[in-house]
Amino acid sequence: MSRSPAVSRRFALTALGAGAAWALGLSEQRPVRAASSGPRNFIGIYMPHGMARELWVPKPGFDISYTDSVLSPFDDAVGFGQSFREQITTLEGLDLSTGMAAGTVGHDGSRVLLTGSGGNGRNASIDQFLALEQGLGQGLPLSSLVLGVGAAGPALGTCISYAKGGSALPKIIDPEQTFQQCFAQWLVGNDPAALAQAAAERKRGKSLLDYWRVEIAALAARAPESERDKLEQHANALRELEQRLDGGLAACTPPTAPDPSQFPSLQAYQGGEPYFDTVTNLQIDLLAQAMACGVTRVATLFLSDLTRTHFDPQLPEDVHIDVAHRYDSKGRAGGGGNPSTWQALGRQNRYTYSKIARLMQRLSERDLLRDSVIVAMSDMGDPARHSSRQIPTLLAGGWGGLLKGGRHIDLGATGTPNNRLLVSIQQAFGVNSDSFGQSSDPSLLSGSLDLT
Amino acid sequence: MLAPALRRLSVAELEQSASAVLGAAVDYRDALPPDARQADFSRNIGQSVDSLTLRQLYDATRTASASVTLDRVVFPGCAARAQPSDAACQHETVATLAQLAFRRAPSEAELTRLLALFNTGAEGGTFRDGVQLVLRALLGSPQLLYESTLGDGPPQAGAVRLSQSELASALSYGISGTPPDAELLAAAAAGELTSGSERQKQATRLLGRAETLQLLQRFVEEWLGLEQLPQLAKASSVVSGFPALSRAMQQETRSFVGDALGSGGGDLTTLFAGGYSLVPDELAPIYGIQPVAAGTRVSLRGVSRVGLLQQSSFLSVFAHESESAPVLRGKAVLVRVLCRSVPQPQELGINVVPPAPDPQSTTRARFERHVSDPLCATCHSQLDPVGFTFENFDAIGRLRATDMGQAVDTHGSISLDGASLELADSVALADAIAHSEELRSCAARQVVRFASGRSDPAAEAAFVEETAHLPASWRGTLLGLFLSYVNSDGFAWRSAP
- Chain segment B373-396, per-residue pLDDT in tens: 777 777 888 899 999 999 999 999
> ∠ CA B363-B364-B367 to the nearest 5 degrees?
85
B143 closest CA partner among B191, B94, B100: B100
- In total, chain A counts a number of residues equal to 452
Contact B139/B65 with Cβ under 8 angstroms?
Answer: yes
Interface mutation target, options A2, A143, A204, chain B, most CBs of B under 10 Å = A204
Residues 19-58 of A with CB under 8 A from B: none
Name the closest residue on chain A to residue B47, using Cα atoms.
A167
A255 closest CA partner among A280, A283, A289, A288: A289
CB atoms within 10 A of CB A365: 14
Q: Do B50 and A169 touch (CB under 8 A)?
A: yes
Residues 382-401 of A with CB under 8 A from B: 382, 384-388
- Between B8, B121, B320, which is nearest A321 by CB? B320
B191 exposed, middle or buried (CB, 10 Å; 0-12, 13-18, 19+)?
Answer: exposed
Element (H, E) at A177: helix A175-182
- What pLDDT sits at residue A15? 24
Contact A99/A421 with Cβ under 8 angstroms?
Answer: no
**Residues on chain B touching A211 (C-beta within 8 angstroms):** 113-114, 117, 137, 141
**Chain A: closest CA distance from residue B236 (Å):** 9
Residues 426-445 of A with CB under 8 A from B: none
Q: Kindly report which listed range (A385-399, B113-127, B345-359, B391-405) carries the lowest average pLDDT score.
A: B345-359
**Residues on chain B touching A319 (C-beta within 8 angstroms):** none
Burial B203-228 (b: 16+ CB within 10 A, else e): beebbebeebbbbbbbbbbbbbbbbb
**Residues on chain A touching B345 (C-beta within 8 angstroms):** 386
More confident: B347 or A146: A146
Q: What is the mean pLDDT of residues B230-238?
A: 86
**Residues on chain B touching A240 (C-beta within 8 angstroms):** 51, 54-55
* A172 close to B (CB below 8 A): yes
Give, in order, the Cα–Cα distances in Å from A82 to each of A347, A361, A402: 21, 8, 21
Please give the Cα distance from A177 to A150 (Å, whole number). 14
Give, in order, the Cα–Cα distances in Å from B181 to each of A126, A373, B26, B43, B91: 44, 53, 17, 20, 21
CB atoms within 10 A of CB B349: 9
**Residues on chain B touching A203 (C-beta within 8 angstroms):** 120
CB atoms within 10 A of CB A199: 11
* A230 close to B (CB below 8 A): yes
Q: Do B34 and A224 touch (CB under 8 A)?
A: no
- Between B114, B236, B353, which is nearest A385 by CB? B353
* A407 close to B (CB below 8 A): no
**Residues on chain B touching A307 (C-beta within 8 angstroms):** 233
Three-state secondary structure call for residue A182: helix
The confidence band for B352, taking pLDDT boundaries of 50, 70 and 90, is: low
Please give the Cα distance from B130 to B65 (Å, whole number). 11
**Chain B: closest CA distance from residue A291 (Å):** 17
Contacts 24+ apart (CB under 8 A), B296-305: B297/B259, B299/B275, B300/B275, B300/B276, B301/B275, B301/B276, B301/B427, B303/B399, B304/B392, B304/B399, B304/B425, B304/B426, B304/B427, B305/B277, B305/B427
B309 closest CA partner among B397, B381, B371: B397
Q: What is the mean pLDDT of residues B290-301?
A: 94
Residues 6+ apart with CB under 8 A from A215: B141, B142, B143
Burial A167-189 (b: 16+ CB within 10 A, else e): bbbbbbbbbbbbbbbbbbbbbbe
**Chain A: closest CA distance from residue B431 (Å):** 33
Contact B321/A318 with Cβ under 8 angstroms?
Answer: yes
* A107 close to B (CB below 8 A): no
Q: What is the mean pLDDT of residues B143-168?
A: 95
Does the structure show a pLDDT above 70 at B326?
Answer: yes
The confidence band for B175, taking pLDDT boundaries of 50, 70 and 90, is: very high
Please give the Cα distance from A143 to A233 (Å, whole number). 12
Q: Kindly report which listed range (B219-223, B230-234, B483-487) carries the lowest average pLDDT score.
A: B230-234
**Residues on chain B touching A146 (C-beta within 8 angstroms):** 52
Please give the Cα distance from B8 to A286 (Å, whole number). 31
The model carries a pTM of: 0.91
Phi/psi at B292 (nearest 5 deg)? Answer: -125, 160
Please give the Cα distance from B50 to B56 (Å, whole number). 10
**Residues on chain A touching B52 (C-beta within 8 angstroms):** 146, 169-170, 172, 181
**Chain A: closest CA distance from residue B90 (Å):** 18
Q: Do B133 and A317 touch (CB under 8 A)?
A: no
- Between B48, B345, B346, which is nearest A163 by CB? B48
First to last CA, chain A: 47
Q: Do A163 and B36 touch (CB under 8 A)?
A: no
Question: Counting one residue from A and one from B, how many pairs have CB atoms under 8 Å apart?
Answer: 164
Contact A142/A161 with Cβ under 8 angstroms?
Answer: no
- What pLDDT sits at residue A335? 80
Q: Do B49 and A325 touch (CB under 8 A)?
A: no
**Chain B: closest CA distance from residue A162 (Å):** 10
CB atoms within 10 A of CB A407: 14
Q: Do B33 and A167 touch (CB under 8 A)?
A: no
Please give the Cα distance from A424 to B23 (Å, whole number). 54
First to last CA, chain B: 12
- What pLDDT sits at residue A247? 53
- In total, chain B counts a number of residues equal to 497
Please give the Cα distance from A40 to A329 (Å, whole number). 38
Q: Do A212 and B33 touch (CB under 8 A)?
A: no
- What pLDDT sits at residue A312? 95
- Between B33, B136, B351, which is nearest A152 by CB? B33
**Chain B: closest CA distance from residue A26 (Å):** 16
Please give the Cα distance from A260 to A279 (Å, whole number). 10
B437 closest CA partner among B418, B450, B457: B418
Secondary structure (H, E, C), B106-129: CCHHHHHHHHHHHHHHHCCCCHHH
Name B407's bridge partners.
Answer: B402
Q: Do B54 and A238 touch (CB under 8 A)?
A: yes
**Residues on chain B touching A153 (C-beta within 8 angstroms):** 33-37
**Residues on chain B touching A170 (C-beta within 8 angstroms):** 33-34, 36, 50, 52-53
B454 closest CA partner among A411, A399, A357, A166: A166
Q: Do A100 and B346 touch (CB under 8 A)?
A: yes
Q: Do A212 and B49 touch (CB under 8 A)?
A: no
* A106 close to B (CB below 8 A): yes
Residues 6+ apart with CB under 8 A from B386: B329, B330, B333, B334, B412, B413, B414, B429
Interface mutation target, options B2, B11, B29, B52, chain A, most CBs of A under 10 Å = B52
**Residues on chain B touching A223 (C-beta within 8 angstroms):** 4, 6, 150
Q: Do B230 and A269 touch (CB under 8 A)?
A: yes
Residues 6+ apart with CB under 8 A from A418: A94, A95, A96, A97, A98, A112, A113, A116, A377, A391, A393
**Chain B: closest CA distance from residue A176 (Å):** 13
* A227 close to B (CB below 8 A): yes
Contact B132/B68 with Cβ under 8 angstroms?
Answer: yes
The confidence band for B346, taking pLDDT boundaries of 50, 70 and 90, is: low
Three-state secondary structure call for residue B495: strand
Name the closest residue on chain B to residue A169, using Cα atoms.
B50
Name the closest residue on chain A to residue B55, using Cα atoms.
A241
- What pLDDT sits at residue B166? 98
* A231 close to B (CB below 8 A): yes
* pLDDT tens track for B419-435: 999 999 999 999 999 99
Report the share of chain B in percent with pLDDT over 90: 84
Q: Could you tell me the mean pLDDT of each successive run of 10 residues in chain A, 452 residues long? A: 32 26 36 63 97 96 97 97 97 95 89 95 96 91 94 85 92 95 75 85 94 96 92 94 72 82 92 96 96 94 94 92 90 86 97 98 96 97 90 97 94 95 97 95 94 81
Contact B193/B211 with Cβ under 8 angstroms?
Answer: no
